[in-house]
Amino acid sequence: MHKEAAIREPLILGHKSFHDVTEDVCRPIEDKAPKMWYVLFGIAAIIGLYGVGCILYLLGTGVGVWGLNKTIGWAWDITNFVWWVGIGHAGTLISAVLLLFRQKWRMAINRSAEAMTIFAVFMAGLFPLIHMGRLWLGYWVLPLPNQFGSLWVNFNSPLLWDVFAISTYLSVSLVFWYIGLIPDFATIRDRAKKPIAKKMYSILSFGWSGRAKHWNRFELVSLVLAGLATPLVFSVHSIVSFDFATSVIPGWHTTIFPPYFVAGAVFSGFAMVQTLMLVMRKAMGLEAYIHTKHVEYMNIVIMVTGSIVGTAYITELFISWYSGVEYEAYAFINRATGPYWWAYASMMTCNVVSPQLMWFKKLRTSLIFTFIISIVVNIGMWFERYVIIVTSLHRDYLPSSWSMHYPSHIDIGVYVGTIGLFFVFFLLFARFFPVLALNEVKTILKSSGESYKNAPDTHHGHSDNENNNEH
């Protein structure tokens, strides 16, 4: 008697029927919001409004209210910009790359991850705009020939490439996310009781009827968009890294930056997805759809990208010595032992050491451990950007112009404010939109649902008995 291979764990726990899936996903939207939602929304809104206040004060007074100085021209604002763009990477990776690889476990998390991407890119885009100082001249980054006469934008500047990369990324992500939502809006539209809600969801669902033709087009568009979005995953953060890599400043002028930034972006993005998902599954009672299996798969991605980032750190250190350029060597010695050693140490601990704990199955399947690590990783990734930007600038060739960067309360207020705004958006999304791609989850119910997954033996058993009884 040969022993059969162990069946993979089902992706949908609890013996769910198609109707149960609809009920579970639609319930939070159709019922009244729980008290906790109002509490969280209130807190997020207050923090967000404080951030908006700081931004308005900044625009009224000038960029001098930041802790920048002549030596350190970039600091918290660009750190936060790169951090937010990085967080926005997981959504597109989960939806596009995993769609092309036909990974079924993405179904449970893609919707929220895509929403998170869009909100994170909103927050990221805010920083370069306010970094300009004169927000009302923001349109100068667009090549509008009739507006400027013979004066054109500088196409040699990676800062301009950023403008195009981020706007393309945002538009593709938005379309991808919205197209996926259409069938689910139609489901809610058909169930809605209140006339206003019915009207709103029917406008949002674009007259979706669920005919085979509609599904056919839906599948095609999803594939085309996934194909478009996959190169974007790599290009956007590579272009963000060119902001540094195309300069001549020691510590920035490195060819390893593009792949290493991309890995770091996926790393921090997946960590943010974990943070949000673990809270959301509890709050919305979706434990049957997002469970240890999903968490484990995502932890494996975090572990792999974390290892790539760790390798990149070590490569950078080695090359700074091997190149024989004393300025490069000094930039890295100064990172590790200079006045910012604590930021470098926390970056190394959070990004290199913590993901390696995921090699243990007990840890990577533990929800509490995952939640803690997901927050630790994002703190580490913030410090990574801070270390790259500030320590490379704060001591240059001329010791008399060396200086330190101390964030002002406006720096901190704007940053914390964007986190508040991000959660305002996310909470609104969770309240009015289906957080699970319910029609996509149904497609894997037959192949990965618990009742169907372990069923063959029981079903055959029943039918045989019935046949015998008949005979």
Over the stretch 111-145, which tens digit does the pLDDT of each residue have?
888 888 899 988 888 888 888 777 777 777 777 76
Per the listing, tokens 């200086």 go with: 403
Question: What is the rounded CA–CA span in Å between residue 24 and residue 10?
Answer: 18
Q: Residue 447 belongs to what H/E stretch?
A: helix 445-448
Q: Give the pLDDT confidence score for residue 454 in this predicted structure.
A: 60
Q: What Cα–Cα distance (Å) separates residue 64 from each residue in 67, 127, 273?
A: 7, 15, 35
The CB-side HSE value for 8 (13 A sphere, CA atoms) comes to 13
Over the stretch 386-403, which tens digit does the pLDDT of each residue have?
888 888 888 888 888 888
Q: Which of 138-142, 261-265, 346-350 has the lowest mean pLDDT?
A: 138-142
Better-scored residue on pLDDT, 288 or 79: 79
Helix boundaries (H) for 65-211: 76-87, 89-92, 98-100, 110-131, 145-148, 158-191, 195-204
Is 288 among the domain residues? Answer: yes
Dihedral sign from CA coordinates of 382, 93, 25, 208: positive
Residue 47 confidence class, pLDDT cut points 50, 70, 90: very high
Q: Give the pLDDT confidence score for residue 7 in this predicted structure.
A: 64
Burial category of 460 from C-beta neighbours within 10 Å (exposed 0-12, middle 13-18, buried 19 and up): exposed
Which residues have C-beta within 8 Å of that of residue 310, sequence separation ≥ 6?
Answer: 351, 352, 355, 356
Task: With H, G, I as helix, E, B as strand and everything else as coil, classify residue 12.
Answer: strand
Average pLDDT of 105-114? 81
Better-scored residue on pLDDT, 310 or 457: 310
Question: What is the rounded CA–CA span in Å between residue 97 and residue 93?
Answer: 5
Q: Which domain holds residue 135?
A: 33-143+151-443
Q: Give the pLDDT confidence score for residue 2 in this predicted structure.
A: 55
CATH number of the domain encompassing residue 283: 1.20.1630.10
Over the stretch 139-191, which tens digit does the pLDDT of each residue have?
777 777 666 667 777 788 888 888 888 888 888 888 888 888 888 888 878 77
Contact yes or no for 116/91 (Cβ under 8 A): yes
Is 412 among the domain residues? Answer: yes
Q: Give the pLDDT confidence score for residue 453 in this predicted structure.
A: 59
Better-scored residue on pLDDT, 228 or 286: 228
Question: What is the rounded CA–CA span in Å between residue 150 and residue 43?
Answer: 49
Is 203 among the domain residues? Answer: yes
The span from the first CA to the last CA of the chain, in angstroms, equals 30
Contact yes or no for 358/301 (Cβ under 8 A): no
Question: What is the rounded CA–CA span in Å between residue 136 and residue 348?
Answer: 40
Residue 200 confidence class, pLDDT cut points 50, 70, 90: confident
- Pair of tokens at residue 58: 């900044």
Question: What is the rounded CA–CA span in Å between residue 184 and residue 438?
Answer: 6
Q: Give the pLDDT confidence score for residue 48 in this predicted structure.
A: 92
Q: Give the pLDDT confidence score for residue 173 in this predicted structure.
A: 86
Is 160 among the domain residues? Answer: yes
Q: Give the pLDDT confidence score for residue 186 in this predicted structure.
A: 82
Average pLDDT of 258-274? 88
The CB-side HSE value for 83 (13 A sphere, CA atoms) comes to 26
Amino acid letter, 163: V
Q: Give the pLDDT confidence score for residue 6 in this predicted structure.
A: 57
Q: Give the pLDDT confidence score for residue 255 in this predicted structure.
A: 83
Residue 50 confidence class, pLDDT cut points 50, 70, 90: very high
Is 299 among the domain residues? Answer: yes
Average pLDDT of 290-301? 83
Mean pLDDT of the chain: 81
Q: Give the pLDDT confidence score for residue 113 in this predicted structure.
A: 86
Amino acid letter, 153: V
Task: With H, G, I as helix, E, B as strand and everything else as coil, classify residue 435.
Answer: coil
Q: How many CB atoms lie within 10 A of CB 182?
A: 17
Question: What is the rounded CA–CA span in Å between residue 45 and residue 419?
Answer: 10
- Pair of tokens at residue 267: 């790393």
Q: Could you tell me which of 321, 445, 365 has the C-alpha nearest to residue 19?
A: 445
| pLDDT over 50 at 461, yes or no | no
Average pLDDT of 445-465? 54
Q: What is the percentage of the chain residues whose pLDDT exceeds 70?
A: 91
Is 453 among the domain residues? Answer: no
Contact yes or no for 54/410 (Cβ under 8 A): yes
| pLDDT over 60 at 350, yes or no | yes
The CB-side HSE value for 144 (13 A sphere, CA atoms) comes to 9
Residue 49 confidence class, pLDDT cut points 50, 70, 90: very high
Task: With H, G, I as helix, E, B as strand and everything else as coil, classify residue 65.
Answer: helix
Q: Give the pLDDT confidence score for residue 459 in this predicted structure.
A: 44
| pLDDT over 70 at 4, yes or no | no
Contact yes or no for 345/270 (Cβ under 8 A): no
Question: What is the rounded CA–CA span in Å between residue 403 and residue 247?
Answer: 20
The values of phi and psi at residue 152, to 5°, are -110, 160
Q: Which of 36-45, 90-99, 220-229 has the lowest mean pLDDT?
A: 90-99
Q: Give the pLDDT confidence score for residue 435 in this predicted structure.
A: 81
Q: Could you tell me which of 95, 82, 382 has the C-alpha nearest to residue 233?
A: 95
Q: Give the pLDDT confidence score for residue 463 in this predicted structure.
A: 39
Q: What is the percentage of the chain residues whose pLDDT exceeds 90?
A: 4
| pLDDT over 90 at 46, yes or no | yes
- Pair of tokens at residue 301: 């991605």
Better-scored residue on pLDDT, 14 or 65: 65
Q: How many CB atoms lie within 10 A of CB 78?
A: 21
Domain count, the chain: 1
Is 429 among the domain residues? Answer: yes
Question: What is the rounded CA–CA span in Å between residue 471 and residue 465?
Answer: 10
Rank 110-124, 193-207, 241-255 by mean pLDDT and report only the highest: 110-124
Is 10 among the domain residues? Answer: no
